[in-house]
Amino acid sequence: MKKLIAGAALALMALTGTAQADGHNYPDRPIMMMVSYGAGGATDFQARIVTMTAGNEDALGMPIAIINKPGAGGRVGWNWFATQAEADGYTLGAYNVPHFIAQSIKGGVDYSTDSFEPIANWGADPAVFVVAANSDMNSMADVIDFAKANPGKLTFSGAGLFVGHHIAALQLEKAAGVKLAYIPNKKGGAGAMKAVIAGDVMGGVNNLSDAFRAQAAGTVKILGVFDVARNDFLPDVPTMMEQGYDIDNASVNFRGVMVPKGTPQAVIDKLAATVPEMFKNGRVAGKMKAGGSPMHIMTREEVQAMWAKRQETLTTLLEGL
Amino acid sequence: MEFLAWFGPVFEPWSMMLLLIGTIGGLILGATPGLSPTMAVALAIPFTFRMEPVHGLILLGALYTSTVAGGAVSAILLKIPGAPANIATTLDGHTMAARGEGRRALQLSFISSLIGGVIGVFLLIWLTPVLAQWALAFGPSQLFWLAIVGVTVIATLDSKSVVKGLLAGCVGMWLGTIGFDDIIGAQRFIFHPSLSGGIHIIPALIGLFAIPQVISMFAKGRTASDLQSAATPRDALSAQASGVLGAGLGWISSIGASFVEVFKYGRSLSIGTLVGSIVGLIPGVGGQIAGLVAYDQSRNFSKEREKFGTGHPEGIISAESANNAMVGPSLVPLLTLSIPGSPTAAVLLGGLIIHGIFPGPDIFTFHPNVVWPFINSMLLGQVLMCFFGIIIAGMVAKIVKVHHSTMAAVVLALALFGSYSVQLSMNDVFIMLCLGTGMYFLERWGYSAAPLVLGLILGPIAEGNFVEGATIAAAQNGVFEYFLRGTMNKVLIALALASIAYAVWISRRTQAHGGQS
> Mind spelling out the 3-state secondary structure of A230-283?
CECCECCCCECCCCCCCCCCCCCEEEEEEEECCCCHHHHHHHHHHHHHHHCCHH
Tell me which residue in B340, B423, B468 faces A70 most closely, judged by beta carbons. B423
* Interface-testing mutation among B183, B358, B366, B463, with chain A (most A C-beta atoms within 10 A): B358
Contacting residues of B for A214, CB less than 8 Å apart: 338, 360
Length of chain A: 321
Give A3→chain B minimum CA distance, Å: 23
3-state secondary structure B354-414: CCCCCCCCCHHHHCHHHHHHHHHHHHHHHHHHHHHHHHHHHHHHHHHHCCHHHHHHHHHHH
Domain ranges of chain A: 23-124+253-318, 127-226
Tell me which residue in A45, A187, A219 faces B337 most closely, judged by beta carbons. A219
A270-309: b (≥16 Cβ within 10 Å) or e? bbbebbbebbebeebeebbebbbbbbbbbebebbeebbee
- Residue B96 near residue B102 (C-beta atoms within 8 A): yes
* Interface-testing mutation among B339, B352, B424, with chain A (most A C-beta atoms within 10 A): B339
Structure ipTM? 0.77
Helix, strand, coil percent content, chain B, rounded in steps of 5 = 80, 0, 20
The DSSP call for residue B423 is H
Contacting residues of B for A134, CB less than 8 Å apart: none
Give A99→chain B minimum CA distance, Å: 12
Q: What is the pLDDT of residue B232?
A: 43
Q: What is the pLDDT of residue A187?
A: 78
Tell me which residue in B338, B343, B423 faces A219 most closely, judged by beta carbons. B338
**Percent of chain A clearing pLDDT 70 (strictly above):** 91
Q: What is the pLDDT of residue B368?
A: 84
Name residues whose C-beta falls within 8 Å of residue B202's C-beta, 6 or more positions apart in sequence.
Answer: B34, B36, B83, B84, B418, B419, B422, B428
Rounded to 5 degrees, φ, ψ at A108 are: 85, 10
- Residue A33 near residue A93 (C-beta atoms within 8 A): yes
Length of chain B: 517
Query: What's the whole-number average pLDDT of chain A?
Result: 88
Gap between the Cα atoms of B380 and B30, Å rounded: 18
Q: What is the pLDDT of residue B210?
A: 87
Gap between the Cα atoms of A269 and A265, Å rounded: 6
Do A218 and B360 lie within an 8 Å CB cutoff?
yes
pLDDT at A10 over 70: no
Gap between the Cα atoms of B308 and B321, Å rounded: 16
Contacting residues of A for B183, CB less than 8 Å apart: 160-161, 184, 186
Contacting residues of A for B464, CB less than 8 Å apart: 186-187
Q: Is B165 helix (H, G, I), strand (E, B) or coil?
A: helix
Predicted TM-score (pTM) of the model is 0.81
Rounded to 5 degrees, φ, ψ at A274 are: -90, -45
Poorest-pLDDT segment among A94-103, A121-130, B81-90: B81-90
Amino acid at A186: K
Amino acid at B216: S
Contact with chain A for residue B203, Cβ under 8 A: no
Amino acid at B72: A
Contact with chain A for residue B362, Cβ under 8 A: yes
Q: What is the pLDDT of residue A42?
A: 78
pLDDT at A152 over 80: yes
Contacting residues of A for B46, CB less than 8 Å apart: 48, 52
Tell me which residue in A161, A181, A201 faces B183 most closely, judged by beta carbons. A161
* Interface-testing mutation among B181, B196, B489, with chain A (most A C-beta atoms within 10 A): B196
Contacting residues of B for A292, CB less than 8 Å apart: 353, 358
Give A265→chain B minimum CA distance, Å: 28
Gap between the Cα atoms of B77 and B109, Å rounded: 12
Q: Tell me if A23-124+253-318 shares its fold with A127-226.
A: yes
Gap between the Cα atoms of B315 and B254, Å rounded: 19
Do A108 and B49 lie within an 8 Å CB cutoff?
no
Q: What is the pLDDT of residue B513?
A: 65
Q: Would you tell me which residues 441-460 of chain B have a C-beta closer than 8 angstroms to some C-beta of chain A?
A: 460
Q: What is the pLDDT of residue A17?
A: 43
Residue of chain B minimizing CA distance to A68: B423
Q: What is the pLDDT of residue B45?
A: 77
Do B361 and A217 lie within an 8 Å CB cutoff?
yes
Give B429→chain A minimum CA distance, Å: 14
- Residue B439 near residue B449 (C-beta atoms within 8 A): yes
A71-82 average pLDDT score: 88
A21-32 average pLDDT score: 79
Contact with chain A for residue B356, Cβ under 8 A: yes
Contact with chain A for residue B339, Cβ under 8 A: yes
How would residue A2 be classed by pLDDT, with cut points 50, 70 and 90? low
Q: Would you tell me which residues 182-201 of chain B have a C-beta closer than 8 angstroms to some C-beta of chain A?
A: 182-183, 185, 187, 196-198, 200
Gap between the Cα atoms of B168 and B502, Å rounded: 19
B394-406: b (≥16 Cβ within 10 Å) or e? bebbebbeeebee
In Å, what is the CA distance from B55 to each residue of A140, A278, B84? 43, 27, 29
Do A75 and B196 lie within an 8 Å CB cutoff?
yes
Consecutive 10-residue averages of pLDDT for chain B (517 residues):
78 90 90 79 78 88 88 88 84 88 90 94 84 79 86 72 84 90 77 82 87 85 46 44 54 83 90 89 73 85 84 92 89 80 77 76 80 89 92 77 80 86 81 94 88 87 90 87 89 86 76 55
Q: Would you tell me which residues 454-513 of chain B have a C-beta closer than 8 angstroms to some C-beta of chain A?
A: 460, 464, 467-468, 471-472, 474-476
Contact with chain A for residue B338, Cβ under 8 A: yes
Contacting residues of A for B49, CB less than 8 Å apart: 52, 287
Do B476 and A197 lie within an 8 Å CB cutoff?
no
pLDDT at A105 over 70: yes
Name residues whose C-beta falls within 8 Å of residue B306's C-beta, 6 or more positions apart in sequence.
Answer: none
Name residues whose C-beta falls within 8 Å of residue B313's C-beta, 6 or more positions apart in sequence.
Answer: B92, B96, B108, B261, B262, B265
Give A293→chain B minimum CA distance, Å: 10
Amino acid at A173: E
Gap between the Cα atoms of B479 and B472, Å rounded: 9
Contacting residues of A for B354, CB less than 8 Å apart: 45, 49, 287, 290-291
Could you tell me where the DSSP H helices lie in A51-108? Answer: 75-83, 99-106
Enclosing H/E stretch for A287: helix A282-290
Amino acid at A138: N
Amino acid at B87: I
| pLDDT top residue among B274 and A4 | B274
Do A197 and B180 lie within an 8 Å CB cutoff?
no
Contacting residues of B for A64, CB less than 8 Å apart: none
Q: What is the pLDDT of residue B246?
A: 53
Q: What is the pLDDT of residue B234?
A: 42
Gap between the Cα atoms of B107 and A171, Å rounded: 59
B269-295: b (≥16 Cβ within 10 Å) or e? bbbbbbbbbbbbbbbbbbbbbbbbbbb
Residue B26's nearest CA partner among B54, B57, B55, B68 is B68
Residue of chain B minimizing CA distance to A187: B284
The DSSP call for residue B97 is I
The fold adopted by the segment(s) A127-226 is: D-Maltodextrin-Binding Protein; domain 2 (3.40.190)
Contacting residues of B for A45, CB less than 8 Å apart: 350, 353-354
- A23-124+253-318 belongs to which CATH class? alpha beta
Gap between the Cα atoms of A179 and A200, Å rounded: 19
pLDDT at A35 over 50: yes
Contacting residues of B for A191, CB less than 8 Å apart: 284
Give A301→chain B minimum CA distance, Å: 30
Do A218 and B350 lie within an 8 Å CB cutoff?
no
Contacting residues of A for B353, CB less than 8 Å apart: 45, 213, 290-292
pLDDT at A189 over 50: yes
pLDDT at A50 over 90: yes
Contacting residues of A for B471, CB less than 8 Å apart: 155, 181, 183-184
A210-221: b (≥16 Cβ within 10 Å) or e? bbbbbbbbebbb
Tell me which residue in A69, A72, A194 faces B339 most closely, judged by beta carbons. A194
Helix, strand, coil percent content, chain A, rounded in steps of 5 = 40, 20, 35
pLDDT at A211 over 60: yes
Q: What is the largest CA-CA distance in chain B?
A: 75
Residue of chain A minimizing CA distance to B282: A194
Strand A253-260 and strand A91-97: pairing?
antiparallel
Q: Is A298 helix (H, G, I), strand (E, B) or coil?
A: strand
Q: What is the pLDDT of residue A22?
A: 54
Give A88→chain B minimum CA distance, Å: 19
